[in-house]
Amino acid sequence: MSLIVNLLISALAVYFTAWLLPGITVKSYGAAVGVALVIAVLNVLVKPLLVLLTIPVTALTLGLFLLVIDAIIVLLAGKLLSGFQVGGFWWALLFSVIVSVVTNLLYNLF
């Protein structure tokens, strides 16, 4: 049950962030749930590989390159879903940062 609640909280954060940023488009709350699910799956399957391949760059930037990897995950989700559009890399980067902050705020609230 906790997994479903976490997914719905993440979807709420995605929907709010898409409302906030003009470069991000989510068609409905159902699409936001799909975005949250796809990003979660990509974080489990793709992100570890990207982190492993970019260890030297991540070490040189003291971990800031992980934000770039998060933006790449958001861009991949935008390519995979028709109800979710990302205006470019910088929008994806800003989206990933704001979704992280809003998700943490909502988790602490609930």
pLDDT tens over the chain, length 110 residues? 699 999 999 999 999 999 999 999 999 999 999 999 999 999 999 999 999 999 999 999 999 999 999 999 999 999 999 999 999 999 999 999 999 999 999 999 98
Q: Across-strand partners of 86?
A: 24
d(CA 87, CA 26): 12
Q: What are the helix (H) ranges across 2-87?
A: 2-20, 29-45, 47-53, 55-60, 65-80
Confidence at residue 110, expressed as pLDDT on a 0 to 100 scale: 82
First CA to last CA distance, the chain: 14
The whole model's pTM is what? 0.93
Question: C-alpha dihedral over 39, 43, 45, 46, to 10 degrees?
Answer: 100
